[in-house]
Amino acid sequence: MIPEVVQAMVRLLEVKDLSTAAHTWRVVLYTRALAEDANLDRAIVERLTYAAALHDIGKLDIPDAILQKPGKLTDEEFEVMKTHTTLGHDHLRGMGEDDPIAVGLVRHHHERWDGLGYPDGLSGESIPLAARYFAVVDSFDAMTSIRPYRATIGERAAQAAMEEIIASRGSRYAPDAVDRFRSLYDAGTFDWIRSHFNDKSQVPGYAGLDAVDLVLPPSRG
Ligand SMILES: [Fe+2]
């Protein structure tokens, strides 16, 4: 995928979805940390980085009235929201994207290990590996983002999110994905990402892979 196209699509989504650039940066950097910890090839890390940045790209095709609704969605609205997975998949395929990592992650990032997720109700190892790992990343970030209704923030929110994810190990989440995420969390690998790219800080829009290297902390070399 062409980096400029990824950036442009992510920017469009941030405007439409009212989500923050910080969210994109965080999920991209968590994903990259996991991939690097697994010693994956540089080329695979790059593909995973794009896939993470584009995970919710199907929301471009969801009506604003649903996407930007401040309150809870009705059941009917939630059914429409769920189609962001298949719409995103179709969108990428329509652009000629055929990287199985990107199209698989976009389509399957809301599947659950126990088969109760969407859009296809896949279970266990039939869920693409990248999507199984990204499900943990996306949930952790959702649970630790600043929301008007959330009382706990910062360290307490992160700890609570980690405990909730561990409690759903083997039901909602793939056991190996939880274990690897947890070991990086315990090692403090994610701390700088959460503190630097928090929802109150003004961070530049997602700017692609080269910029990811620029924002790595000095200790990473
Ligand atoms: Fe999503």
What 3-state class would DSSP assign to 1? coil
pLDDT bin (cut points 50, 70, 90) of residue 87 is very high
**What Cα–Cα distance (Å) separates residue 192 from each residue in 48, 105, 197?**
20, 25, 8
What is the rounded average pLDDT of the residues 10-39? 87
Domains annotated on the chain, with CATH: 3-209 (1.10.3210.10)
pLDDT for res 207: 67
What is the rounded average pLDDT of the residues 116-121? 98
The predicted-structure confidence for 123-176, as pLDDT tens digits, reads as follows: 999 999 999 999 999 999 999 887 656 666 678 889 999 999 999 999 999 999
Tell me phi and psi for residue 181, to 5 degrees. -60, -45
Q: Residue 59 in contact with residue 86, Cβ under 8 Å?
A: no
**Can you read off the two tokens belonging to residue 16?**
């439409």
**Can you read off the two tokens belonging to residue 50?**
């794009």
139 alpha carbon to ligand 1 midpoint, in Å? 10
196 alpha carbon to ligand 1 midpoint, in Å? 23
Angle at alpha carbon of residue 110, lines to 128 and 134, rounded to 5° = 60
The predicted-structure confidence for 61-77, as pLDDT tens digits, reads as follows: 999 999 988 889 999 99
219 alpha carbon to ligand 1 midpoint, in Å? 32
Angle, helix 42-53 to helix 100-108, in steps of 10 degrees: 40
- Check pLDDT > 60 for residue 216: no
162 alpha carbon to ligand 1 midpoint, in Å? 19
**What Cα–Cα distance (Å) separates residue 199 from each residue in 48, 112, 142, 175, 193?**
23, 27, 11, 29, 11
- Nearby residues for ligand 1 (ion, Cβ within 5 Å): 56
- Check pLDDT > 80 for residue 209: no
C-alpha–C-alpha distance, residues 51 and 118, integer Å? 18
221 alpha carbon to ligand 1 midpoint, in Å? 32
pLDDT for res 154: 74
- Which residue did the predictor score with more confidence, 213 or 201? 201
For the chain, helix, strand, coil in percent to 5 are 65, 0, 35
C-alpha–C-alpha distance, residues 46 and 202, integer Å? 25
C-alpha–C-alpha distance, residues 200 and 45, integer Å? 28
End-to-end CA distance of the chain: 27
pLDDT for res 82: 97
- Check pLDDT > 60 for residue 184: yes
- Check pLDDT > 90 for residue 182: yes
73 alpha carbon to ligand 1 midpoint, in Å? 15
CA-CA-CA-CA dihedral for 73, 78, 83, 84, to nearest 10: 30
What 3-state class would DSSP assign to 97? coil
85 alpha carbon to ligand 1 midpoint, in Å? 7
Q: Residue 162 in contact with residue 185, Cβ under 8 Å?
A: yes
pLDDT for res 221: 39
C-alpha–C-alpha distance, residues 15 and 165, integer Å? 29
What is the rounded average pLDDT of the residues 79-84? 97
Measured in whole angstroms, how far is the alpha carbon of residue 201 from the centre of its chain? 19
